[in-house]
Structure formats: structure tokens, C-alpha cells
């Protein structure tokens, strides 16, 4: 039997704010495989996450297979909209959720990791970041600012994260991000430029994989996950409809679980996937393979 063993490896999961989404599930699965896990959390959600942990509100979800509780080695403030402190507008720096923090930019995250753990501190980086301030607007109604904001946080942040973190990663390390099928198919209701951001993320995955492979010997992939009604995804407004639709029309009818995405991410970041890079891995119960809906009594439907 082959087991994924990440003992001695350190992972950074960027985009964990609670225990309800894919980011947390990936972090937990990496820890189950033996990795130590640090997380990056959006500053406005930082105290919320810490309070949930300190007050025991996440104890049940943090329970590991051996009965212990998942422990984050470090929780870093991270706003991936900014590469350096010089990029941060004054109104953000002065905001009460930011003003008492150290450097919360991607450059600050890199510097903090090196200061805490040494010159080459990490093996695995998970990009679980997405935000579109106008996500409920049809694309045709999205403002330029809203569109660019979606691409900045949801796609460009991956490029910046690779640029800042690849040089401090250990040999044979791996990046993985989270995408969605709207990158390649029209999903009305998934608006605000988010479909464009996911398309950019998948395109960038291919060229970044070449660049980090040749420059650093690292791998880089993305996971196109099916819909899951996490707190963050609920902001889209149609996620419950999508969950039901996928269940009715996918080859596997059981709804997707975060643990399934966590397991896939752990595999693709492990040495067992050493030959896989530049790929989009579908973890969506097979929905991406379907060419027609079958929940309307289509002839031949099972």
C-alpha cells in the first residue's frame, strides 16, 4: 500500500479564515500526511480565526485521525492584493484591522517565513485566494475597478506569490491553486469578472509551471473543484443551485466534500505526483466530462 508521507515538510496555505472551506480542508489533510502547516489569513478575518481557535469553536473540525487537534505552526496576516507595503494605500494602513499588524503583504510574508524558519523554509504552497467585489453582477455590468480587483486577488496574486516564494522553497517543492469550471464554460451568475480571473489562473498555471520548473525545479498545478457551499462561496449567491445541479448531472451523484479536495491537493503536492506539473486537475465528481444535462429525463439517462 502506498501512503502519502509529508513528514519533515512545511506547507503554507494562503486563504484560511475559518474551518468551512477548501483551504482549511487542504491544511488539515496536509497535516494528516505529516506536514507542518502555516496559514495566511486576510487581515479583516485574522482575529475571527484566532478567536474561533482560542474559544474551542473549531475543535471538532480540527480533530485529527489520531484524536489530536490540528495545530497551525504560524498564522500570518496576508492581504494578497499588495506585493509590498509601498503598494498599500494610506486608508488601508490606517484601518483598525490593519494598523497594528506588521507587514501583511506578499513580501512581508516571505520575509516572515525566512525570519521564522530559515533561508529555505517551505516545501508546499497552496493558493486558496479568491475575491470579486462585484461577483453578483453580470459581466456586462461589472466596472473596470471591480473587474481588475477580481483579477488582482484571484489570479495575479498567484504570480506574485510564486515570484516571492519560489526562491525560498526547498528542492522539489510544489504549488497548487484552486480554480473552477467557469474558467472554460459560461456559468451565468458567477460574475464580477471571476470567470475571467479563473481563466487567467489556469492559463498562468501552464506558463508558471514551465518557468518555476526550469528555474527552480518546482512543480505547479491547479485544481478545478466543483461547487461547495462554504461561507465564502455563498457570497456568489448561486452556489446552492450549483451544488444541486452538479449532483443531478454528474457521473457521481454524491455532493463534493472539502475533504476530497484536500486529499487531491495533498496528493498533487506530494512526491507521489512528481511527474505532474502545469495541469488542471478536476475534482468535481466528473461533472466536467458531461456534455448535456440529464436531470430533465433525457433519453439514456441513468
**What band does 204 get if pLDDT is binned at 50, 70 and 90?**
very high
**pLDDT single digits (tens) 85-137:** 999 999 999 999 999 999 999 999 999 999 999 999 999 999 999 999 999 99
276 domain-assigned: yes
**pLDDT single digits (tens) 209-253:** 999 999 999 999 999 999 987 666 566 668 889 999 999 999 999
SS3 state at 258: helix
The one catalytic residue among 76, 82, 190, 228: 190
Active site residue 287: no
Give pLDDT, residue 1: 55
**pLDDT single digits (tens) 136-193:** 999 999 999 999 999 999 999 999 999 999 999 999 999 999 999 999 999 999 999 9
Q: At what angle do helices 258-268 and 22-32 cross, to 10 degrees?
A: 50
2 domain-assigned: no
**Region for 213 from its dihedrals, namely left if φ exceeds 0, alpha if ψ lies in -120 to 50, beta otherwise:** alpha
19 domain-assigned: yes
Distances (CA, A) of 280 to 39, 82, 177, 193: 23, 26, 9, 20
**pLDDT single digits (tens) 125-147:** 999 999 999 999 999 999 999 99
180 domain-assigned: yes
Q: Which three cell numbers stand for residue 228?
A: 461547495
Give pLDDT, residue 237: 67
Domain count, the chain: 1
The one catalytic residue among 76, 82, 156, 180: 180
**pLDDT single digits (tens) 17-75:** 999 999 999 999 999 999 999 999 999 999 999 999 999 999 999 999 999 999 999 99
217 domain-assigned: yes
157 domain-assigned: yes
Q: Which three cell numbers stand for residue 147?
A: 473587474
Residue in the block written with cell 495575479: 156
Give pLDDT, residue 57: 95
CATH number at residue 275: 3.40.50.720
Of 7, 157, 129, 13, which Cα lies nearest the Cα of 75? 13
Give pLDDT, residue 161: 98
Active site residue 180: yes
195 domain-assigned: yes
Give pLDDT, residue 13: 98
122 domain-assigned: yes
Taking 80 as the threshold, does the pLDDT of residue 2 lie above it? no
Give pLDDT, residue 240: 87
Taking 90 as the threshold, does the pLDDT of residue 265 lie above it? yes
Q: Are 249 and 293 in contact (CB under 8 A)?
A: yes
Tell me the whole-structure pTM to 2 decimals. Answer: 0.95
Q: Which domain holds residue 201?
A: 10-286
Amino acid at each position: 500500500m502506498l501512503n502519502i508521507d509529508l513528514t519533515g515538510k512545511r506547507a503554507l496555505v494562503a486563504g484560511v479564515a475559518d474551518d468551512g472551506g477548501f483551504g482549511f480542508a487542504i491544511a488539515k489533510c496536509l497535516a494528516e500526511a505529516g506536514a507542518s502547516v502555516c496559514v495566511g489569513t486576510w487581515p479583516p478575518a485574522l482575529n475571527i480565526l484566532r478567536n474561533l481557535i482560542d474559544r474551542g469553536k473549531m475543535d471538532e473540525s480540527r480533530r485529527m485521525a489520531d484524536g489530536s487537534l490540528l495545530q497551525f505552526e504560524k498564522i500570518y496576516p496576508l492581504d494578497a492584493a499588495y506585493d509590498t507595503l509601498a503598494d498599500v494605500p494610506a486608508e488601508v494602513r490606517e484601518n483598525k484591522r490593519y494598523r497594528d499588524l506588521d507587514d501583511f503583504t506578499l513580501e512581508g510574508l516571505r520575509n516572515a517565513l525566512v525570519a521564522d524558519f530559515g533561508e529555505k523554509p517551505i516545501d508546499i504552497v497552496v493558493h486558496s485566494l479568491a475575491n470579486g467585489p462585484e461577483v453578483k453582477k453580470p459581466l456586462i455590468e461589472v466596472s473596470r475597478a471591480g473587474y481588475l480587483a477580481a483579477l488582482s486577488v484571484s489570479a495575479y496574486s498567484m504570480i506574485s506569490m510564486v515570484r516571492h516564494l519560489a526562491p525560498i522553497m526547498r528542492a522539489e517543492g510544489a504549488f497548487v491553486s484552486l480554480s473552477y469550471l467557469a474558467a472554460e464554460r459560461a456559468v451565468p451568475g458567477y460574475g464580477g469578472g471571476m470567470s475571467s480571473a479563473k481563466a487567467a489562473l489556469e492559463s498562468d498555471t501552464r506558463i508558471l509551471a514551465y518557468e518555476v520548473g526550469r528555474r527552480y525545479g518546482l512543480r505547479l498545478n491547479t485544481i478545478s473543484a466543483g461547487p461547495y457551499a462554504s461561507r465564502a462561496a455563498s457570497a456568489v449567491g448561486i452556489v446552492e443551485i450549483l451544488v444541486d445541479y452538479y449532483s443531478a448531472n454528474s457521473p457521481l451523484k454524491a455532493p463534493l466534500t472539502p475533504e476530497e479536495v484536500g486529499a487531491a491537493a495533498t496528493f498533487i503536492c506530494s512526491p507521489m505526483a512528481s511527474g505532474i506539473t502545469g495541469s488542471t486537475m478536476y475534482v468535481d465528481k466528473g461533472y466536467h466530462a458531461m456534455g448535456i444535462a440529464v436531470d430533465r429525463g433525457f433519453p439514456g439517462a441513468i
